[in-house]
Amino acid sequence: MGQQVLQGRLHTLEFEQIFQLSQGNLKEALVGELKALGYKPKSRKGYLYASGELPVMLIAHMDTVHRQLVQHICYTEDGRVMMSPEGIGGDDRAGVYMILRILQGAKCHVLFCEDEEIGGQGARKFERSSIRPEVNYLIELDRHGGNDAVFYGCNNREFIKFICGFGFEEARGSFSDISVVAPHLDVAAVNISAGYYNEHRQHEYVRLDQMEENISRVREIVLTSTERFAYRGLYSSPSTGGFWGEELTLWNMRFSSRKEPKPLMELSDNARLMMGSHEMGGGRSHYIDRKGNVYLYLHELGAAVLIDGACAYSDTGEPLSFDSRLAQDTRIMEYDEAMELLRAG
């Protein structure tokens, strides 16, 4: 079986359970796993955090884009690749598993976030918490492929050199939880490949051998003594303290200055959202206007914000059209106002 490719076992969870549980049930199971590892986890709305001994924080998210829970898991004959007809959810259940394995030999701080796929909602809740661990850097395990290191808006070249010194190659990305957490904690961060491919699609698959290799490499990284790597943004926003990377990110948004309600059509679960060549996930909590512009609806505020550069497509790849019969007047907010209200929480 595929698990034979993996070299370690967990304490309370079975490997396949990580891919099969709902987000809520996985969160509960992770509490037990962390306790078995000697942690005292804090389960809060939006995230699960546990303080460690090493000055590094590992991060992964517990949600996936797939609507149906995994029922069947298949492996290739050599046991190196796993997949599911329901969509395996390697993004980011692979990262969750890898962190649990790394913690067995390196007691780092750990943060498991909810709802990354709908705009980093769990990371936003962590940002508004009073938890501020003193760590030297952050590592998220939420990147496709086997050898990528993505730094988003963080431009600390010493940190980039340190991470790439373990054989990883610097790559570009659009958004992950560290896009929120790193500037909040003012510490450098990287997103490392977790071995999954074709994320956000039914034919997603996970390379177990690459997971295993990167478990070893990340464990080596966190056990290497370093100084603290500060967060150095490419560009700073004086009003929000946020960052703008060299490329468009999910939260690199220009928001409409309109204050009056605007007709928006809610997207179905089958809608595909694209930002350039990157697929952002399903259409849940997303809307389009008459011109096809995409909005993210913030339930906490009862308002929508414009995602500049995003496009919505059907599951067959056709651009979605606005239907006024399905539209409803929706409140639109500017970025600064929305972020201030979310921070105030």
Show the CA angle centred on residue 156, arms to residues 150 and 158, nearest 5°.
100
221-270 pLDDT tens trace? 999 999 999 999 864 333 333 333 333 343 344 333 445 789 999 998 88
Judged against a pLDDT cut of 80, whether residue 177 lies above it is answered with: yes
**Residue 234, token pair as written in the block:** 């490419």
Please, are residues 88 and 206 in contact by the beta-carbon 8 Å criterion? yes
Q: What is the pLDDT of residue 82?
A: 97
**Per-residue pLDDT at 210:** 97
Cα distance between residue 62 and residue 122, in whole Å: 10
Judged against a pLDDT cut of 50, whether residue 37 lies above it is answered with yes
**Three-class DSSP category at 187:** strand
Angle formed at CA 275 by CA 141 and CA 255, multiple of 5 degrees: 105
Closest CA to 126 of 68, 70, 192, 49: 49
More confident site: 275 or 177: 177
Lowest mean pLDDT, pick from 45-49, 85-89, 153-157, 254-258: 254-258
At 245 the pLDDT is 37
Residue 190's pLDDT band (boundaries 50, 70, 90)? Answer: very high
pTM of the predicted protein model: 0.73
Percent of the chain exceeding pLDDT 90 equals: 63
Mean pLDDT of the chain: 87
Whether residue 290 contacts residue 315, with contact meaning beta carbons closer than 8 Å, is answered with no
Q: Specify burial of residue 164 (Cβ count, 10 A radius: 0-12, 13-18, 19+).
A: middle
As a whole number of angstroms, the distance between CA 62 and CA 141 comes to 11
Which structure tokens are listed for 76?
A: 């290739």
* Per-residue confidence (pLDDT) for residue 252, from 0 to 100: 40
- Tell whether the model's pLDDT for residue 340 goes beyond 90: no
Per the listing, tokens 């000697």 go with: 38
User: Cα separation of 183 and 241, whole Å?
Assistant: 8
Q: How confident is the model at residue 4 (pLDDT cuts 50, 70, 90)?
A: confident
